[in-house]
Structure 1
Amino acid sequence: MKVLGIIPARYASTRFPGKPLIEIQGKSMIQRVYEQALKAISLTKVVVATDDERIAEAINNFGAEFVMTRDDHQSGTDRCAEVSQHFPDFDIVINIQGDEPFINPKQIDLLVSCFEHGNVKLATLIKEIHTEEELLNTNIPKVVINSRQEAIYFSRHTIPYIRNAEKNKWLDVHQFYKHIGIYGYTTPTLLEITRLQPSSLEMAESLEQLRWVENGYTIQTRITAIETIAIDTPEDLDKIVG
């Protein structure tokens, strides 16, 4: 099984322009993500996908492989789909978030393990929620899974609703999960899902994975105990290096 790790990196971030090039303890963020991804034993190759010459120059300077993509992609999934067509002999594509400079390579390996079962076409990671702050935070997508650890639904709202308990007791009576935004796809499935039209659920929640669910795709999950640290704003960076 040949596995391609792709790190989408764009310059034009609304909340943090130029984010991939910010320096974190002497290295750019995109370099740190790339070096962490290289440590994953499950990946056959790692490439960066970008549409910006400044990012491409930085990547070239630290000796990484990259692919220039179109600049009109709506998501990292779309950018990964374009890059995957440059590597048609790979079976699996892993979409690695470009704003997680300290991603643990074991998370990548855990996600790839989902594809050891030949019927899995899509996969992602989830993590147990243990604080009320996370449970009620609409910026943290929640996920409900079935007995086979397949995702049934994703929502910014707290799901499921516990009817017979007060909100401050919900964590005592049910195990909730949050979504960790790293995805795996078989190469044919990746190309299929990027041809789908935006769905009503996706637009309602602003979660692209709901497009796949709404179109009947099964998303396998694995539970990770490792926390991820994403840098979405300059304030997030201050928390890490401060």
Structure 2
Amino acid sequence: MSVLIAIPARYASTRYPGKPLVSLKGPDGEKTLIRRSWEAAVAVQGVDRVVVATDDTRIADHATGFGAEVVMTSPACQNGTERCAEVAAALPGYDVVVNLQGDAPLTPAWFVEDLVAGLRADPEADIATPVLRCDGRALNGFLADRRAGRVGGTTAVFGVGGRGLYFSKEVIPYTGKTYADEDPTPVFHHVGVYAYRPAALHAYPSWPLGPLEALEGLEQLRFLENGRKVLCVQVQARGRQFWELNNPSDVPVIEAMMAAMG
């Protein structure tokens, strides 16, 4: 299967304007968020092409400067999936289009590799996305974010065969229990990476915004609202920590994780 990775990046983030150009300190020095996300993408095995998809010349110039290929997309795109749909239309012929979001520089390469394998094994799936079982530490972090009024990670629930049932910025399912840091929990963190079959991706912008997507602000819900099969692929952290950059307070968290990983 031929694979294209697109990294959507926009400057005008509601929660964190200019986020792709934020600098993150790591053992390898300071690099911007978008550069670290691009480096994560090029580390994936079996990928034929990696592009940064943006509507902002500041991001485009910076990405070109460190060697990335850039596809300019419309400022009318409402989310990363719509931006990826424009990339897929501009660069046709790939069997799988991966949306590796530009705010997730700690995404391990095997997450994407497992998604592509998941689509290969399940011809009925229109889209595949990774889910990671929370341990007590991660779950308690999500709950602390919600108590403080912060939007943190997204959680997922799925049924037989990994078929996605719902995704939420609330912590679901409700457990009513307390877990020690290392305990496995029944809550799964949805990792914001997607592998699409081109037909489903091309259809996405033509569907109207549904009530669930509008409420949650989660683009993958549009596929569920239109009856498409979303495959949740369980991935393993293999000792790696994972966090997305959603708020300015996430910067030191990610920097600490990079330092711990060396």
Is the structural similarity TM-score above 0.5? yes
List aligned pairs for 1:72-87, cutoff 5 A: 72-87=76-91
Deviates more, 1:214-223 or 1:230-239: 230-239
Instruction: Report the Cα offset of residue 228 of structure 1.
Output: 2.2
User: Residues of 1 paired with 2:205 and 2:160: CA distance?
Assistant: 28
User: Residues of 2 paired with 1:28 and 1:191: CA distance?
Assistant: 30
**Aligned with residue 237 of structure 1, among 232, 236, 251:** 251
Per-residue displacement from partner, 1:104-160 (whole Å, max 9, x unpaired)? 111111111111123321110111122242564553332221120111122334434
Number of aligned pairs?
238
Task: Check the 8 A contact 2:156/2:188 in 1, yes or no.
Answer: yes
1:40 aligns with 2:73: no
1:61 aligns with 2:65: yes
Per-residue displacement from partner, 1:59-107 (whole Å, max 9, x unpaired)? 1111210111111211000011011111111111100010122321111
Aligned to 1:219: 230
Aligned to 2:140: 133
**Aligned with residue 179 of structure 1, among 190, 215, 230:** 190
**Aligned with residue 116 of structure 1, among 103, 116, 120:** 120
Contiguous gaps of at least 5 residues in structure 1: none
Contiguous gaps of at least 5 residues in structure 2: 257-262
Per-residue displacement from partner, 1:33-64 (whole Å, max 9, x unpaired)? 11121110131110000111111111111121
- The root-mean-square deviation of aligned C-alpha atoms, in Å, is 2.2
SS for the counterpart of 1:234 is: coil
Aligned to 1:204: 215
SS for the counterpart of 1:27 is: strand
Aligned-pair identity (%) = 37
- Provide closer, same or farther for how the CA distance between residues 43 and 71 of structure 1 changes in structure 2, counting only shifts above 3 A: same
| Superposition TM-score, scaled by structure 2 size | 0.83
Aligned to 1:16: 16
- Provide closer, same or farther for how the CA distance between residues 155 and 13 of structure 1 changes in structure 2, counting only shifts above 3 A: closer
User: Residues of 1 paired with 2:21 and 2:88: CA distance?
Assistant: 24
User: Residues of 1 paired with 2:16 and 2:212: CA distance?
Assistant: 27
| Superposition TM-score, scaled by structure 1 size | 0.89
Task: Check the 8 A contact 1:42/1:108 in 2, yes or no.
Answer: no
- Provide closer, same or farther for how the CA distance between residues 13 and 156 of structure 1 changes in structure 2, counting only shifts above 3 A: closer
Amino acid at match of 2:169: R
